[in-house]
Amino acid sequence: MNIIEHTWEFLDHRICAHNPRPRNLDKLWLVLQEEWLKLDLDYIHKLYNSIPARVLALHKAKGHYTRY
């Protein structure tokens, strides 16, 4: 339900698709920062605006699995 999970997943895909892929922690940190700065604010706003629907779905599911 946490929107940051979707953001991390998005970043993970971007980092894995990076060419060349980072081979050490320093390179990983640089690529992560680079991809973080490229995040589209519309994507973040979309996730943020989905919070009420996420809460409602969780309530309806009585705390169990939701599509989010």
Q: How many domains does the chain have?
A: 1
66 part of a folded domain: no
Are 1 and 68 in contact by the 8 Å Cβ rule? The answer is: yes
Please give the chain's pLDDT, 68 residues, in tens.
Answer: 788 999 999 999 999 999 999 999 999 999 999 999 999 999 999 999 999 998 898 888 887 778 77
Provide the pLDDT for residue 21: 92
65 part of a folded domain: no
- Show the domain range for 42: 3-60
Q: Which pTM was predicted?
A: 0.73
The residue assigned the tokens 């605006």 is 49
